[in-house]
Structure 1
Amino acid sequence: MNRSQGITVLGATGSIGVNTLDVVACHPGRYHVVALTAHRQVDKLFAQCLQFRPLLAVVADASAASQLQQRLRDAACPTEVAYGEAALEVAATLPEADMVMAAIVGAAGLRPTLAAARLGKRILLANKESLVVAGELFMRTVRDSGAELLPVDSEHNALFQALPAAYDGNLDRNGIEQLILTASGGPFRQRDAASLRHVTPDDACNHPNWVMGRKISVDSATLMNKGLEVIEAHWLFNAPADRIDVVVHPQSVIHSMVRYKDGSVLAQLGSPDMRTPIAYAMGWPERIAAPVKALDFLALSGLTFEAPDLQRFPCLRLAFDALRAGGAASAVLNAANEIAVEAFLQQRIAFLDIPNLVERALQTQDLSACHELEALLQRDADTRRQVQAWVAA
């Protein structure tokens, strides 16, 4: 590697963004930061700008932008500041950026990630909603532009590592029987169904293994996160729903597995630390160092597996249903879930209301296919309005 590679981090103040910058800091001669984006965490973004000196920083609105710009000027930091959705697309398409870490949570990350894909950049995909909402459109854009798409979710990164190096999207031609995603089971794996009626947002965000943002932590608690990952795996690896399986693995040591037709199963193992898949995606096809604690096999008490309980956690079933339904079903599923999770975090609905609202949306919204971005985003907006109305009723 002769030239320092530029990276834009979409969602720099979230857990994936912070971990990405940790990896960048370990390789100062290999990578440099071109742009950082955040929502409204001005203090955190300000500190990141001082450390990494990006060309551009993007925040959500004019007020946050004004505050950040003044603080950067006072600190003699040359970073320019912009705000709004259009500025996110600018950050994702700067010519100085060789790669884009797509780590904005939710459908909000779709437009800038798609913009980077159109330009043929290396996309480090942590925003699973880009594929859940617009899988057909996104994958078509990647193929047409020649962009490199590398999965950062630990499960899909593990599958990528366990698949043949020259995997061409054909399971049978590569002797593959099944893709197996592992799930920790979340904080309520051993809770009885009746007790789930009374769990709080803090309970749901207290994940036993991973340190994540509040939205994805709730998704982990409902198993919707695993459902979204099933849909993502379908698009990434061209796998139908009946060739994707989910097993609960509470220790979070095996991150996913590939079962081959000869009886072999290849698994990727490691400590539950997102800096491993981030470093793998950043350095691919090389492997680069990451500040991750080595997995100590002698310290492991055991590796256990169990089937997911679809009665207590119906969100996983709903995600499989949406994948099989096709059309805009996955976009509706995601939009309904985002509004329901937000309402739960605001303590406006109960935990068990989340799958009920998602299922109601799938039963009532238009699930017909949308082939263009604006039509998909309109379907997303319509679903959000309807679920918001149900929450308010």
Structure 2
Amino acid sequence: MSHQTLTRPQTVTGIDLTDVDLFVRGDHTAAFAKLRAEQPIYWNEGADGSRFWALTTYDDVMWAYRNHETFGSGRGAIVGGSFRSEDDTSAGRMLVTTDLPRHRMLKQVIHPSMSPGVAKRVGVQVAELLGRALERTRADGGCDFATDIAPELPAGALMVVMGISHEQAHHLIGLTRRMVGYRDEIFVDTGGDQRLRLAWLQAEVFEFFADIVAERRRDPGDDLISTLVRAEVNGRRLSEEEIFYNCMNVAVGGNETSSYTACTGLLALMDHPEQYQRLRESPQLVGTAVEEMLRWSSTNAYVQRVAKHDVERGGVQIKAGESVTLWNYSANRDETQFQDPHLFDITRTPNRHLTYGSGLHRCIGAPIAQAELSLLFEQLMVSGPRFRLAADVRRLRSNFLLGITRLPVEVI
């Protein structure tokens, strides 16, 4: 499809991707289908004052992910920047907001804490927590899956990766949920200035890590926080703020992807009972089923980049300094990449979804998230209870993380 050669194409669709209600209502699926068909490289003028390009096709999103010489990460992953400026205050300090060569150096520091050996230990811890949670659910005849079972996935991971207790892990999950859900009234008071609220919530997360960092300086272990305390990048120790930012990076990435994908995955099974029955009859399909849940959920809906220099794509001119958003959710439903993309199919293969991103910034914790989700659905299919929806579902008020905050189920 050809596009007019315009620096600012006319906004003919009337779609605003900063409208959180679009995502809460579920209307974003149709909106992205319209954009892919009519204006796949889309200039979004948000009601909140933000201005950015939206890439919506699989090929365009993949192109941007892999073109790190053209697109940088210093403006932060989320549209809107920080409370202080347009650019994110974590730029150059946190793995997700750094570019080469520093990005590679930070990744080398963090990567051992995400190794296959660590993933195996996470699996043991998560299995124990899930066993207890599923036993309680069976005894009670049901639960809110979003709050009673799904958070045990990141809790187990945090206990192992960061060397913290179960109680501390759940406290941290609560803090990051509030920060990510800074526009959601079930987590925070949504009155007042959003940016100041987000700054306050981020400070709470930093406060949590400050005490643990101090402990690790006195008594280091083999956990991620101890590793960051000891680490040198380019011959220099990480500052306190750099340690906090990278702890937060791992905590948010790990907390939200696994638990929210677990909820959306279970809901998809309940919404598609024939797929649910097939998976229970053939639990060896859990591997492809989890991949389909990741594609279907696309929990991390988009990431932001900034153009380092002028670039042309599809007849559209993107100028240096402009924000560009890579919409994983839309790419994962691109009709040119996935056959029947709006069909939930636990046997789908190949399934080259972009839920973990791609290239330089592919999610470093993907192996751990994969292990957690596989373990959960193996337990549910082999020995766990079968669920059905017991009441209305509630979705997170966000256009960045697509999650479920309430998923009442009953055992059948």
Specify if TM > 0.5: no
With normalisation by structure 2, the TM-score equals 0.31
What TM-score do the two structures reach when normalised by structure 1? 0.32
Structure number with greater CO (CA < 8 Å, separation at least 6) is 2
